[in-house]
């Protein structure tokens, strides 16, 4: 049998096909080869071989980039809750924390208002302020929620929850407003927080002040007005005015006291203090009593001896004080008398050899007062004694006069000035 001769090209084609199939199967089973570019075929398929691929565990991978770890205040976003009628609010930072150096403040504030609608002026009753801050390198975490609580008046009110810590007081028709600073506003900075509108108007009665005034003056003529609004639920608008044209207006918030000090020139004349256009005090301030120079008159005393009696005389001036003393003779009954200011009193005892009288009480004698016979004798009707000895003033009245004298000497020029400026304390 004659076999045909095999062509030398057929085995080469078969071998090349087999190698191509093995390379395709190996590439399909290897992820690294699957993602790598396809190798360019060589000029001679018979001598080409698959490229060696490292094991999967030895292949290098690039880590995915990390997202931002903090936000600026401008990019911060919040959610909030608000219960204005109760004076409560809270806000949560949802994409924080804030980056280093960043912060965002918030304020909850309640006002007393003229009506349940938006009317002015409105005055602050209570406020609560807090803020989010960045996390320092040595800190762990930060607060994600802030809570606020304020007092809400029982009368007409407005409550606002706002971005920032700047409080407007009072709110007026022509003054600044919170506007888009209000949390939950549809635009502006307030829109950075999602939730209900964070402002409230309500209440059920008119707010009223409860003004009081206390007036005090000193020895130099300065007057201090204590303007008090302790128990009201609205501010009190005080005006201090004199009949010489001076006027000063002061607004005192509820539960507050404001002091106004004026010198003597400013408060000269009649003064009227009004609160919310109603008079609360009228008068003329005067210096305290202790600032005035003592003007107590000193009594004058004398005595005389006649042939019939020993007479002791007391003259009490109009600016004196009431005096009560006892005159005790060496023989006979003692006499107790009272000498009122502006009156004279004489105390008489029958003449007798060796008679003496001792005076005690508000008036005291330095030594017993002796009756002496007249120098020319009694037959000639002469008199004796005279004003020998006198009656020194001691006891309560004398002590007061002496104390006043000592005070005058010690104070010197100060009391001289005070005496010229006669003012006393006056309070309502």
pLDDT per residue over 48-62, tens digit each?
444 445 454 444 455
Long-range contacts of 296-302 (CB under 8 A, 24+ apart): 296/320, 296/321, 296/397, 296/400, 296/401, 296/404, 297/341, 298/393, 298/401, 299/323, 299/339, 299/363, 299/393, 299/397, 301/363, 301/390, 301/391, 301/392, 301/393, 302/386, 302/387, 302/390, 302/391
DSSP 363: B
Closest C-alpha to 398, from 323, 340, 290: 323
Angle between helix axes 395-411 and 413-420 (nearest 10 degrees) is 100
3-state SS, residue 292: coil
In the chain, what is the greatest distance between 2 CA atoms, to the nearest angstrom?
A: 217
186 has pLDDT over 90: yes
197 has pLDDT over 60: yes
Q: Do residues 366 and 392 lie in contact, with contact meaning Cβ atoms separated by under 8 Å? A: yes
Highest mean pLDDT among 182-196, 197-211, 228-242 belongs to 182-196
Lowest-pLDDT range of 115-119, 202-206, 290-294, 362-366:
290-294
pTM of the model: 0.49
Provide the H-helix boundaries in 214-326.
none
Q: For the chain, what is the mean pLDDT? A: 78
Among residues of the chain, what percentage have pLDDT more than 70?
A: 70
- Tokens 């003054």 label which residue? 175
pLDDT of residue 292: 67
The burial class, CB within 10 Å (0-12 / 13-18 / 19+), for 184 is buried
Lowest-pLDDT range of 43-47, 194-198, 289-293, 304-308:
43-47
Q: Do residues 219 and 204 lie in contact, with contact meaning Cβ atoms separated by under 8 Å? A: no
If one compares 224 and 63, the residue with the highest pLDDT of the two is: 224
398 has pLDDT over 80: no
Query: CA-to-CA distance for 308 and 374, rounded, in angstroms?
Result: 10
199 has pLDDT over 50: yes
Q: What is the mean pLDDT of residues 271-292?
A: 88
Q: What is the mean pLDDT of residues 256-272?
A: 88
pLDDT band of residue 228 (cuts 50, 70, 90) is: very high
The CB density around residue 148, as the number of other CB atoms within 10 Å, is: 20
- Convert the pLDDT of each residue in 320-353 to its tens digit: 899 999 999 999 999 999 999 999 999 999 999 9
Q: What ranges make up the beta strands (E) of 269-425? A: 271-275, 278-283, 300-305, 309-315, 323-329, 335-339, 344-350, 356-361, 369-370
From residue 50, alpha-carbon distances to 36, 38, 178, 302 in Å are 13, 11, 75, 151
- Convert the pLDDT of each residue in 372-388 to its tens digit: 988 887 864 444 444 44
DSSP 38: P
């Amino acid at each position: 049998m004659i076999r045909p001769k095999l062509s030398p090209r057929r085995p080469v084609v078969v071998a090349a096909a087999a190698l191509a199939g093995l390379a395709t199967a190996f590439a399909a089973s290897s992820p690294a080869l699957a993602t790598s570019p396809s190798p360019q075929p060589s000029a001679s398929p018979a001598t080409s071989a698959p490229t060696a691929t490292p094991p999967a565990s030895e292949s290098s991978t690039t880590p995915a980039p990390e997202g931002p770890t903090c936000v600026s205040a401008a990019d911060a976003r919040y959610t909030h809750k608000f219960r204005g009628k109760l004076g409560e609010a809270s806000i949560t930072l949802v994409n924080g924390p804030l980056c280093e150096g960043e912060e965002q403040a918030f304020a909850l504030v309640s006002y007393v208002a003229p009506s349940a609608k938006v009317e002015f002026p409105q005055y602050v009753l209570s406020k609560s302020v807090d803020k989010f801050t960045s996390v320092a390198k040595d800190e762990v975490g930060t607060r994600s929620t802030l809570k606020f609580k304020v007092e809400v008046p029982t009368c007409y009110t407005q409550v606002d929850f706002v971005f920032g810590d700047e409080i407007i007081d009072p709110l007026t028709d022509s003054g600044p407003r919170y506007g888009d600073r209000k949390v939950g506003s549809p635009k502006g900075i307030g829109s950075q927080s999602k939730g209900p509108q964070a402002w409230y108007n309500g209440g059920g009665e008119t707010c009223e002040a409860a003004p009081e005034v206390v007036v005090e003056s000193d020895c130099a003529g300065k007057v201090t007005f204590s303007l008090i609004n302790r128990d009201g639920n609205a501010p009190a608008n005080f005006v201090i005015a004199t009949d010489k044209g001076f006027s000063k207006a002061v607004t005192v918030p509820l539960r507050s006291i404001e002091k106004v000090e004026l010198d003597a020139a400013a408060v000269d004349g009649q003064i009227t203090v009004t609160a919310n256009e109603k008079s609360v005090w009228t008068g003329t301030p005067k210096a305290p009593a202790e600032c005035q120079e003592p003007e107590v008159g000193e009594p004058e005393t004398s005595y005389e001896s006649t042939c019939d009696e020993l007479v002791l005389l007391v003259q009490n001036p109009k600016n004196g004080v009431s005096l009560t003393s006892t005159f005790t003779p060496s023989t006979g009954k003692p006499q107790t008398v009272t000498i009122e200011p502006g009156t004279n009193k004489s105390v008489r005892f029958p003449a007798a050899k060796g008679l003496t009288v001792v005076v005690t009480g508000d008036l005291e004698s330095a030594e017993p007062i002796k009756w002496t016979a007249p120098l020319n004798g009694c037959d000639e009707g002469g008199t004796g004694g005279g004003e020998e000895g006198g009656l020194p003033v001691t006891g309560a009245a004398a002590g007061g006069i002496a104390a006043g004298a000592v005070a005058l000497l010690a104070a010197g020029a100060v009391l001289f000035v005070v005496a010229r400026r006669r003012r006393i304390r006056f309070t309502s």
